[in-house]
Amino acid sequence: MKIATWNVNSVAARLARLTSWLADTQPDVVLIQETKSTDDRFPVAAIADAGYEVAHYGQGQWNGVAILSRVGVTDVQRGFGDQDPEARIIGATCGGVQVYSCYVPNGRSLEDPHYRYKLDWLGRLGELASTRPVGPFVLGGDFNVAPSDLDCWDPPSFLGATHVSEPERAAIRAIESTGLIDLIRVLHPDEPAYSWWDYRGGAFHQNHGLRIDLLLVDETLGRRATAGYVDREARKGVKPSDHAPVIAEFDLESEG
């Protein structure tokens, strides 16, 4: 089974690239963030033509998360089940795997109220992880946190910024402490494996990036992973998202 996470930065602006990427990549499940779409406007028909069912939790101009699947989508959950004004998490069961697509708040700056909202939100994500049922589990998405300095192209220039602060990193570690593995980092302990590059200043060309899009998987799925990688090709060319897809492949058939 191939599972990807991708912040598309508007599903409407990215639709042609998304459908061609689906055809080329053939993922079974795609965890999408920043659809910037209402449920009404989500291009369900175009995605169906590509062979995928859709579960979407949309808001409009901002946020919006979705799950695309060609192995079924059941037990859809939108939001945390409590009051959150922003559409940032959706879960479902796809092909026997419980998956979540999350879009963690940006934080803006350490002094901004949005930073407190981000830390609170990461706390709720930890609660969700700690209360999950036993079984194959993938928590993927745009976490807006670079978990270590290896995940940041220039740590000194990020001092005092969001995405690298100790409370954010501690929140990621707390989520992992529920028994989840940062799959790409475990498979590639020494590679930066950036997943986001600023549109400005030729950042992608210079590989000035951050690794903020993560696939956190339970330990059983971690043992069954056969590959995990960033699809840098999807960041190239005309009208890309500023994020690249992060992809994992699992062997769910063998014993173990």
Partner DNA sequence: ATGACTTACTAGGTAAGA
- The Cβ of residue 27 has, within 10 Å, a number of other Cβ atoms equal to 24
Q: How far apart are CA 188 and CA 116, in angstroms?
A: 31
Hey, is 129 helix, strand or coil?
Answer: helix
Q: With binding defined as CB under 7 A, does residue 176 bind DNA?
A: no
Nearest to 96 by CA among 3, 190, 186: 3
Among 51, 81, 135, 201, binds DNA (CB under 7 A): 201
Strand order in the sheet with 137-142: 74-78, 89-94, 97-103, 137-142, 213-218, 180-182
- 196, 216, 225, 244: residue in contact with DNA (rule CB under 7 A): 196
Query: Is residue 103 flagged as an active site residue?
Result: yes
205 sits near DNA (criterion: CB under 7 A): no
Q: How far is the CB of 160 from DNA (least distance, A)?
A: 9
Residue 61 within binding range of DNA, rule CB under 7 A: yes
Check if the beta carbon of residue 2 is closer than 8 Å to that of residue 28. Answer: yes
Q: Which of 28, 57, 115, 142 does the annotation list as catalytic? A: 142
Per-residue contact track with DNA, 89 to 108, x per CB under 7 A? ----------------xx-x
**Which residue in the list 52, 103, 115, 194 is annotated as catalytic?**
103
* 239 sits near DNA (criterion: CB under 7 A): yes
Q: Is 190 tagged catalytic?
A: no
Q: How many residues bind DNA (CB under 7 A)?
A: 29
Q: Of the candidates 81, 185, 177, 175, which has an alpha carbon nearest to the alpha carbon of residue 119?
A: 175
- Interaction between residue 77 and DNA (CB under 7 A): no
Residues 6+ apart with CB under 8 A from 29: 1, 2, 3, 4, 67, 68, 69, 70, 71, 94, 95, 97, 99, 138
DSSP conformation letters of 185-241:
HHH-TT-----EE-SGGGTTTTT-EE--EEEEEEHHHHHHEEEEEE-GGGGSSSS--
Using CB under 7 A, which of the segments 6-14, 68-76, 133-141, 245-253 binds DNA? 6-14
Q: Does 142 bind DNA (CB under 7 A)?
A: yes
Q: Is 151 in the site for DNA (CB under 7 A)?
A: no
| 12, 48, 110, 170: which one binds DNA (CB under 7 A) | 12
Among 74, 76, 199, 252, binds DNA (CB under 7 A): 199
User: Would you call 115 helix, strand, or coil by DSSP?
Assistant: helix
Among 2, 70, 78, 114, binds DNA (CB under 7 A): 114
Report in angstroms how near the CB of residue 144 gets to DNA at its nearest: 5
Options 9-17, 21-29, 43-51, 127-135: segment touching DNA (CB under 7 A): 9-17
> How many residues appear in the chain?
256
CA-based nearest residue to 212, from 241, 179, 249:
241
Binding site for DNA (CB under 7 A): 7, 9-10, 12-14, 34, 36, 60-62, 105-106, 108, 114, 142, 144, 162-163, 196, 198-201, 210, 212, 239, 242-243
The residues carrying an active-site annotation are: 103, 142
